[in-house]
């Protein structure tokens, strides 16, 4: 398979990069000085696979520029950076990396909730600055026993629910339809869910329907004592409305792993102590990074050996 051209859209994982180089003819899009359209035109006949992620996937222009493209393998579970309609139209296979990152993302979601409520980051700065000498830290809020709402009860949402249950939290959720075999309370209306929970987790896929699913109405329903945790995608949240709500005290706090215009984050958030910000690291552990890379490789090898894909999307 060393003669099969694979295009990697941006740096993702050194391990993945090395594995691709060992098995395929690897093209690194970011390593070439030529404009992207010129580069794709030059190598269009050679490239049969694209490996993308949450930053750069395979849009319609890229797909149309690669007439011999057979498969797009995403180094992520999310598919919002891939034009699935164009892939389906052209008969291009698509895979992603579900399951292997579920635990890490759910862990981070719970970690963000704990960090916001218990003011862990503020406590850390309090100790490091030497302020403890001047008096004790202010009281925080507990996580155990809180009412938790989850938008999207898929793999990650269910894993968050399972973890929250261990903290004796009451779980409710919103999804496209009511899930069978669960005792969690279902809300068909997101505003009602937000009004009835203290912590709201965003864990759904990003689609046209879920773009800005967290709007002013939802934020105001969650209220000045509510906490928003987003480990989904930045575009799930109307970011200007979120910033305004936090600055005006209409929302109690937030834990964010994702943002609308990554890596740019609204500077108004930097001085707020009721939020915790992390740089889209939900699945970024050594163990999961390797497992995701291995799954990308396995899907590519299966495709080019004419075997069933391990995690097919299309």
Between CA 45 and CA 69 the distance in angstroms is: 9
pLDDT at position 1, please?
Answer: 83
35 pLDDT band, cuts 50/70/90, is confident
**pLDDT for the residue numbered 32:** 84
* Percent of the chain residues past pLDDT 70, beyond the cut: 100
Mean model confidence pLDDT for the chain? 97
Q: 171: part of which helix (H) or strand (E)?
A: strand 170-174
Across 194-216, average pLDDT: 97
Give the active site residue among 23, 118, 155, 280. Answer: 280
Q: Known catalytic residue: 212?
A: no
What is the chain's length? 314
Q: What is the pLDDT of residues 44-79, one digit of tens each?
A: 999 999 999 999 999 999 999 999 999 999 999 989
The structure's pTM equals 0.93
Comparing CA positions, the residue from 205, 208, 228 lying closest to residue 216 is 228
Active-site choice (14, 165, 262, 287): 262
233 belongs to the catalytic site = yes
Decide whether 5-96+286-305 matches 101-277 in CATH topology. Answer: yes
Q: How far is CA 71 from the centre of its chain?
A: 22
Instruction: Using alpha carbons, select from 199, 187, 96 the residue that is nearest to residue 142.
Output: 199
* 280 tagged catalytic: yes
According to CATH, the superfamily of the domain at 101-277 is NAD(P)-binding Rossmann-like Domain (3.40.50.720)
Nearest to 228, CA basis, from 219, 217, 215, 240 = 219
Q: Please compute the mean of the pLDDT values over residues 120-143 and round it to a whole number.
A: 98
CATH superfamily of the domain spanning 5-96+286-305: NAD(P)-binding Rossmann-like Domain (3.40.50.720)
- Say which DSSP state 201 is in: E
Where do the structural domains in the chain lie, given as residue ranges?
Answer: 5-96+286-305, 101-277
Predicted confidence at residue 293, as pLDDT, reads: 97
**Alpha carbons 148 and 267: distance in angstroms, whole number:** 28
pLDDT exceeds cutoff 90 at 100: yes
* DSSP-assigned beta bridge partners for residue 140: none
With a cut of 90, say whether residue 105 has pLDDT above it. Answer: yes
**Catalytic hit among 43, 163, 174, 233:** 233
pLDDT digits 0-9 by tens, 280-300: 999 999 999 999 999 999 999
- pLDDT tops 90 at residue 34: no
For residue 270, what pLDDT band results from cuts at 50, 70 and 90?
A: very high
Of 236, 228, 257, 250, nearest to 116 (Cα)? 228
């Amino acid at each position: 398979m060393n003669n099969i051209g694979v295009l990697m859209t941006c740096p993702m994982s050194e391990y993945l990069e090395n594995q691709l180089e060992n098995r395929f003819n690897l093209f690194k899009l970011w390593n070439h000085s030529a404009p992207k359209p010129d580069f794709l035109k030059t190598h269009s006949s050679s490239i049969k696979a694209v490996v993308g992620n949450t930053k750069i996937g395979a849009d319609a222009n890229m797909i149309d520029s690669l007439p011999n493209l057979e498969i797009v393998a995403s180094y992520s579970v999310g598919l919002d950076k891939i034009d699935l309609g164009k892939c389906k139209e052209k008969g291009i296979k698509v895979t992603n990396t579900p399951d292997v990152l579920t635990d890490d993302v759910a862990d981070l979601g719970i970690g963000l909730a704990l960090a916001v409520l218990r003011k862990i980051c503020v406590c850390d700065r309090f100790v490091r600055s030497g302020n403890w000498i001047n008096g004790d830290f202010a009281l925080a809020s507990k996580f155990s026993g809180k009412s938790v709402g989850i938008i999207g009860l898929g793999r990650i949402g269910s894993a968050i629910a399972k973890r929250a249950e261990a903290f004796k939290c009451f779980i409710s959720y919103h999804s496209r339809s009511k899930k069978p075999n669960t005792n969690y309370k279902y809300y068909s209306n997101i505003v009602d869910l937000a009004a009835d929970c203290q912590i709201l987790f965003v864990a759904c896929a990003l689609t046209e329907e879920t773009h800005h699913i967290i709007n002013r109405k939802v934020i105001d329903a969650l209220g000045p004592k509510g906490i928003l945790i987003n480990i989904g995608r930045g575009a799930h949240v109307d970011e200007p409305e979120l910033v305004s709500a936090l600055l005006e005290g209409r929302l109690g706090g937030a834990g964010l792993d994702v943002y609308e215009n990554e890596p740019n984050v609204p500077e108004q958030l930097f001085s707020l102590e009721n939020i915790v910000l992390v740089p889209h690291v939900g699945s970024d552990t050594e163990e999961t990074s390797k497992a995701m890379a291995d799954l990308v490789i396995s899907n590519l090898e299966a495709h080019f050996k004419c075997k069933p894909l391990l995690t097919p999307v299309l």
